[in-house]
Structure 1
Amino acid sequence: MTRRPRSLAVLMILVAGALGVISSTQTWLVVTLASVEGEQLPVAGADAVPVLAPLSLAALALGAALTIVGRVLVYAFGVLTGLLGAVVAVASARVAIDTPVETYASTVTEATGITGPQAVRDLVSSTALTPWPVLTAVVAVVIVLAGVLTLVTAHRWTGSGRRYRQGVADDATESAGPGADPSRPRDAIDSWDDLSRGEDPTS
């Protein structure tokens, strides 16, 4: 039961982060220029929201890290996950609702050489949105929910980091304990191993 919230949160973050990366490569809107009849410029998600790709990759990294970190970092990563999801959600929703000029300014400037928000706005006759901005906003909300789920249920998560460290210690004990050659001279490392196992190295 303690693993179910963790697995669900990690799965939500990884899937949503992957969709965010994919979205950054897709066309978010198509801009029609007024100066050249019929010329249309596709604007990719990475151009419309420059932080989309890096934040989506960060979400993937956080999702993967949540499978191994201890409880303190789980809380920290949960907060970070919620924050980056909120940033992507707001930015994506802004494109879907308002489509500000900075969303497509770099694409228009690259194609025409014209710079400046007002000049770019005057050059564009219309913009047409694809479903990707709305889909990305929904995906970002999923990331936020995963961050909230992490914070709410973190106290029930099993400490994977602690289990890992314990496993390493057990392996070291096995390799240096019963299997060690009792006839060879003992050194400082052997004494340290004895102390690690709670034994008296002077006995």
Structure 2
Amino acid sequence: MNLAQRGRSISVLGFLLAGAIGIISSTQTWFTVARADASEDILVPGASALVLLAPLSLAVLALGAALSISGRAIRLIFGIFAAATALMLGWSTLQLLVADPVDAISTTVTEVTGLAGGEAVNDVVVSITPSAWPYIALVGWAILLIASVVVLATWRQWKAGGRRYRTDHVEVAHDGPIDAVDSWDELSRGTDPTR
């Protein structure tokens, strides 16, 4: 089997895996903040460090589920959206790790200490230590980007969804009265059996 034949399954699994990693990492500690007053360390979860982490991860999960039954044009749109999401989240996560993440931790520090403002937060913070979760999230965004590239490379070769996803109208002629089973069948086809 070549990539074009496996494109759908690779893409769907990639989207679901990346979305799951994002959701799980949003609930885990991304940064540990040591305080100047020697009080207990402040733990900053991923959802606080990167505000769009949880919503976009949920969107990626939904895209993965919808990708398995989507039509051609929608596949292309999903692939483009997922690639943009992977790049945006990857860049944002990388910025948190490379730059000083004071902005990412300030909301949580303010909630714990009651001190607001950049100078007050800087006075409280002695050090900021990242956990493994931002790096795990980066792996998730790389998986999402690869899955998006697979979608964009193979979306035309995917087989169409089965008949169960079509809404073609089928005319059925009835001789005589319609019983309950025929009524249900007509409702399933999208027609009103009472007409």
RMSD: 2.1
Which residues of 2 match residues 169-188 of structure 1 at below 5 A?
169=168, 172-173=170-171, 176-177=172-173, 180-181=174-175
Tell me what 1:68 maps to: 69
Structure 2 distance, partners of 1:109, 1:38, is: 14
Structure 1 distance, partners of 2:87, 2:27, is: 20
Asked whether the 8 Å contact 2:109–2:115 carries over to 1, the reply is: yes
Question: Residue type of the partner of 2:92?
Answer: A
Tell me what 1:11 maps to: 13
Q: Which has the larger radius of gyration?
A: 1
Which aligned segments of 4 or more residues in structure 1 are displaced greater than 3 angstroms?
none
Partner of residue 26 from structure 1, selected from 25, 28, 37: 28
The residue matched to 1:47 in structure 2 has which SS? helix
Q: Cα offset for 1:9?
A: 0.5
Tell me what 1:117 maps to: 118
- Alignment deviations for residues 176-200 of structure 1 (CA, whole Å, 9 cap, x no partner): 15xx32x57xxxxxxxxxxxxxxxx
Q: Cα offset for 1:38?
A: 4.2
Tell me what 2:38 maps to: 37
- Alignment deviations for residues 117-148 of structure 1 (CA, whole Å, 9 cap, x no partner): 23212220011111001110111111111111
Q: Percent identity?
A: 41
Q: Higher helix share goes to which structure?
A: 1
Tell me what 2:181 maps to: none
Structure 2 distance, partners of 1:48, 1:4, is: 36
Structure 1 distance, partners of 2:30, 2:162, is: 40
Question: Residue type of the partner of 2:168?
Answer: A
CA distance 1:40–1:128, change in 2 (3 Å): same
Structure 1 distance, partners of 2:66, 2:74, is: 9
CA distance 1:161–1:86, change in 2 (3 Å): farther
Asked whether the 8 Å contact 1:70–1:161 carries over to 2, the reply is: no
Which residues of 2 match residues 60-139 of structure 1 at below 5 A?
60-139=61-140
The residue matched to 2:159 in structure 1 has which SS? coil
Q: Cα offset for 1:162?
A: 7.2
In structure 1, stretches of 5+ residues that fail to align are: 185-203
TM norm structure 2: 0.83
Asked whether the 8 Å contact 1:69–1:161 carries over to 2, the reply is: no
Structure 2 distance, partners of 1:162, 1:83, is: 32
The residue matched to 1:126 in structure 2 has which SS? strand
Tell me what 2:182 maps to: none
Asked whether the 8 Å contact 1:33–1:125 carries over to 2, the reply is: yes
Structure 2 distance, partners of 1:161, 1:147, is: 23
TM norm structure 1: 0.80
Q: How many residues align?
A: 176
Asked whether the 8 Å contact 1:13–1:146 carries over to 2, the reply is: yes
Asked whether the 8 Å contact 1:70–1:162 carries over to 2, the reply is: no
Structure 2 distance, partners of 1:86, 1:118, is: 32
Structure 2 distance, partners of 1:53, 1:131, is: 17
